[in-house]
């Protein structure tokens, strides 16, 4: 049985994979003009984490940790940009959103959780 925090992380990465794939499809069909590299990287990372986390694969934990660190950096970077634009309330919301990623990182770093992925 998969522990419920791992199931929630799998759901989070599944949503990210779906949104990234939708962006890839929009770029491929010409509906938007964006670089294709970033949505493909996000899709590969999140799809890999989605596929491996329920099976407690070590490489999936590595992908999840890497993705969570990247999402934290992005959320805090957006908060910094919002502060520079003079929108402190929006920056506070963005900073608060990064707490979810930090809690997930803390959970994946626990010794007993690491033991499941061996």
What is the value of pTM for the model shown? 0.90
CA nearest to 104, candidates 58, 59, 63, 68: 68
**What is the average pLDDT across 51-71?**
96
Reported as a single tens digit per residue, the pLDDT across 83-106 is 999 999 999 999 998 999 999 999
- Percent of the chain past pLDDT 70, that is, above it, reads 100
Q: Rounded mean pLDDT of 40-64?
A: 96
Mean pLDDT of the chain: 95
pLDDT band at 1 (very low <50, low <70, confident <90, very high): confident
Mean pLDDT along residues 49-61: 96
Q: Where are the alpha helices (H) located in the chain, listed in sequence order? A: 4-29, 37-52, 58-84, 88-108, 111-116
């Amino acid at each position: 049985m998969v522990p419920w925090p791992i199931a929630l992380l799998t759901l989070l990465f599944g949503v990210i994979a779906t949104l990234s794939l939708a962006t890839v499809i929009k770029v491929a069909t010409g509906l938007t003009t964006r670089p294709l590299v970033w949505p493909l990287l996000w899709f590969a990372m999140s799809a890999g984490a989605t596929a491996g986390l329920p099976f407690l694969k070590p490489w999936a934990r590595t992908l999840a940790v890497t993705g969570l660190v990247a999402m934290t950096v992005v959320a805090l970077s957006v908060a910094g940009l919002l502060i520079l634009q003079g929108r402190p309330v929006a920056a506070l919301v963005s900073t608060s959103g990064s707490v979810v990623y930090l809690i997930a990182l803390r959970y994946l770093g626990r010794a007993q959780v690491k033991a499941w992925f061996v």
